Amino acid sequence: MSRPKALKIEHFRADYAKTPDYCDVFEREMKPLYLLAFLLTADHQEAEECFAATIEMGCEEKCVFKDWTESWIKRCLIQKAIHTVFSRSARDRQRSLWGGDSCETRLRDMVNAITNLEVLERFVFVMSILEGYSVRECSLLLHCKGENIVQLRMRASTKLAASDSHFREPLAAPPDQPESN
């Protein structure tokens, strides 16, 4: 019986992200990343602070695989928003509204409905439903039990469905695919 051949470690090459890689992601994904920060913080000033802090972290980070840059940035942005929102003083800031005249009405209404949720419900909804984080990931990042995450997600979804008709409407199928019945 022969031993399996060992992997040649010296041939393993991992491309690590460099500052230009982070800059490319921030430039390409600026609007979605800012929207993510706003959905979590429900405050334009705090969203900008989280966004800026995440950019700084990206410029300093040396040990992220190049292919994981975007997911690493999102995770850092979420962690920064968690720290920012949950370390606020006892007085809550007034919630900011999304959009202005140039913003699509449906998007504005949906964003404002999400930011109107209670803080923990909002984080769980955004992280689990919009960003696709697992119950375990949400539990670890938010320091909550998994069953609490499931309850918060259900409560947030129920509130959104009851408060805003946009959450009850099915999304339209992409133009190149027929709608299913």
Percent of the chain with pLDDT over 90: 53
Q: List the domain boundaries for the chain.
A: 14-87, 117-169
pLDDT of residue 62: 75
Name the band, by pLDDT with cuts 50, 70 and 90, for residue 90.
very low
Name the band, by pLDDT with cuts 50, 70 and 90, for residue 171.
very low
pLDDT of residue 98: 72
Chain position carrying tokens 């995450």: 149
Where residue 132 falls (left for φ over 0; alpha for ψ -120 to 50; beta otherwise) is: left
What distance separates the 2 farthest-apart alpha carbons in the chain? 74
Where residue 2 falls (left for φ over 0; alpha for ψ -120 to 50; beta otherwise) is: beta
Prediction pTM value: 0.79
Average pLDDT over residues 153-177: 70
How many helices (DSSP H) and strands (DSSP E) are in the chain? 8, 0
User: Closest by alpha carbon to 85, among 110, 122, 54?
Assistant: 122
pLDDT of residue 172: 46
| CATH domain 117-169 topology | Arc Repressor Mutant, subunit A (1.10.10)
Q: What is the DSSP string of 90-157?
A: SSPPPPPPP--TTS-HHHHHHHHHHHTS-HHHHHHIIIIIIS---HHHHHHHHT--HHHHHHHHHHHH
User: Closest by alpha carbon to 75, among 14, 121, 141?
Assistant: 141
CATH architecture, range 14-87: Orthogonal Bundle (1.10)
Question: What is the tens place of the pLDDT at every residue in 3-46?
Answer: 656 555 555 556 888 888 888 999 999 999 999 999 999 999 99
State the chain's mean pLDDT as an integer: 83
Q: How far apart are CA 14 and CA 7, in angstroms?
A: 15
pLDDT of residue 76: 94
Average pLDDT over residues 122-139: 97
Where residue 92 falls (left for φ over 0; alpha for ψ -120 to 50; beta otherwise) is: beta
**pLDDT beyond 50 at 175:** no
Position 102: which residue type? S
